[in-house]
Structure 1
């Protein structure tokens, strides 16, 4: 649940070993492949939409109110746990700062 420029991901993963994405756009390609070329910008935007669309559809399918809030909280908590695992894989000595809202949403009282 974070946005990273392709070059930033490439740096974090030491220019190799970035995870694969299995969204409908990426089809298993690695996430650090995006550059500033016009074609890559279009592909990165399509990846972003495909990723968020999955979450939006799940949220819209949940009943409004506590069920939807709980689903969003759970999705944020999964992102927090994934970030902790992923940041250990980064070869960069300094991890980017966390999105402040992510932990707030993940730990918010219902």
Structure 2
């Protein structure tokens, strides 16, 4: 079984026939043989997908970050306009999983409406760039300059097309 996080969508956007997204962290990350796991131990709150930032955060982290302001409201069907900071404990694992699945499935449906090739690649890159651009806005809104940090993987996906195009141009020169 292959394990992937948001890279599953990047792979689909770049032409993969299928991909798998792990429901929990242990099913999203691969640890090479002989290397230690990078676990912070038992999580006392569920991982919650913050769609605008295209990243998973612990529910308790979202609750802390948005403690002094209004959290974004999720419009997915399971949430029914529930704020993203309302998954602070492990009692919320099921509802967080329903939220995550609903958001991911909406992305998957959109992706599959696009033709394989440049349309999908462009959609993915634009989505990643929009998320990267959103981080400073969210941090400003919560008045925490480093409240949320762009994950390196997301940054790489947001820049990949430019790098890919530069490599293609170099080969044709």
- Say whether the fold is shared (TM-score over 0.5): yes
Structure ranking higher on relative contact order (CA contacts 8 Å, 6+ apart):
1
- Alignment of 1:22 with 2:64, yes or no, is no
Higher Rg of the two aligned structures: 2
Which residue matches 1:75? Answer: 127
Secondary structure, counterpart of 1:58 in structure 2: helix
Structure 1 unaligned blocks of 5 or more: none
- Alignment of 1:4 with 2:57, yes or no, is yes
Contact (CA 8 Å) 2:68, 2:142: kept in 1 or not?
A: no
TM-score, normalized by length of structure 2?
0.57
Structure 2 unaligned blocks of 5 or more: 1-53, 166-173
Query: Cα–Cα, structure 1 residues 78 and 94, in superposed 2: closer, same or farther, change >3 Å?
Result: closer
Which residue matches 1:98? Answer: 150
Give structure 1 regions of 4+ aligned residues with deviation exceeding 4 angstroms: none
For residues 70-98 of structure 1, what are the alpha-carbon distances to aligned partners after superposition, in whole Å with 9 as ceiling and x for unaligned?
A: 11001111111222211112244642432
Which structure has more strand as a fraction of its residues? 2
TM-score, normalized by length of structure 1?
0.87
What is the aligned length? 109
For residues 23-61 of structure 1, what are the alpha-carbon distances to aligned partners after superposition, in whole Å with 9 as ceiling and x for unaligned?
A: 1111111111113233x1100000001111111111111
Contact (CA 8 Å) 1:11, 1:92: kept in 2 or not?
A: no
